[in-house]
Structure 1
Amino acid sequence: MKCKNPKLCSKKHEKWKKNQRQFIPIGEREHELFLKYLEKKTAKLTLGRHSDKRQYQRLISTNDVNDIIKNGWVIERNFFPNDQSVSLVILGYTRTYRPIHVVCIVLNDDHWFVKTVYSPVSKEYKWANGYQDRICFCKDKEEDE
């Protein structure tokens, strides 16, 4: 597959880059704080039904998810004003060097909800710079499910 609308996605990418320059440092601080709670063993990480289903379909273990949250880095932070929620996309690599994105909703400083997990390799055309920069914003059917 490839991008269905390169011109529009290029514009969206520029806006995305500008926003992420501002928001990724905030996400990094949120991630660091959550990791401190994990060290103290007071953090709560909830895996939802959707993420369980996607883990199974995409052969991503719960250990992989935990490792990526502990050792990965924030590549995207989004704020949704309608429900006042924040999501972080964390990139990390499994022990077999497979890149994985874990999408978390920050419920609280010490409580995160894993919304979904996926390998960006499955839609490589959407990513640049080692799967860190989103360059295609086209919607896929599967993403809406």
Structure 2
Amino acid sequence: MKCNNPKLCSKKHEKWKKNQRQFIPIGEREHELFLKYFEKDEATLILSRHTDKRQFERVVSTHDINDIIKHGWVIERNLNNKTVTLIILGYTRTYRPIHLVCKILDDKTWKVKTVYSPISKKYKWSKDFQKRICFCKEN
């Protein structure tokens, strides 16, 4: 697959970059706070049913998810209807890039909404998988 509308996506990418310059630092602070609690076993990471299904389909273990939470970094932060979601990029022990989409319920409780490898839709991401470059909707 490829981008269906490069001109439109280029404009959306510029807007995305501007927004993320503002929002990623906030997401990084939220991630750091969660990690403080997580490392002390005072935080809860909930895996949604959707995540369970995708883990199986995409061969991503719970250990991989925990490693990515601990060692990954925020590449996107979104706020929709007062709900904050972060996309965290990390690598498995076999150096496979993985994105976790996490919903922040509160400082100590996060829910992983889904997990995927950005390689599956390479055209949507920069070469380092850190920046969204295609915003086309899937059919």
* Structure 2 residue 17 is matched with structure 1 residue 20: no
Query: Any idea what the Cα deviations from partners look like across 1:90-131, whole Å, max 9, x if unmatched?
Result: 000000000000000000000000000000000001111400
Q: Give distance in 2, aligned partners of 1:138 and 1:56.
A: 26
4+ residue stretches of structure 1 with deviation over 4 A? none
Q: Give distance in 1, aligned partners of 2:43 and 2:57.
A: 27
Q: Give distance in 1, aligned partners of 2:137 and 2:93.
A: 30
TM-score by length of 2: 0.98
Q: Give distance in 1, aligned partners of 2:43 and 2:67.
A: 15
Identity %: 73
Query: Alpha carbon RMSD of aligned pairs, Å?
Result: 0.7
Q: CA deviation at 1:140?
A: 1.6
**Unpaired runs of 5+ in structure 2?**
none
Give the structure 2 partner of residue 121 of structure 1: 119
Give the structure 2 partner of residue 132 of structure 1: 130
Paired residues for 1:25-104 under 5 Å? 25-80=25-80, 82=81, 84-104=82-102
TM-score by length of 1: 0.94
**Unpaired runs of 5+ in structure 1?**
none
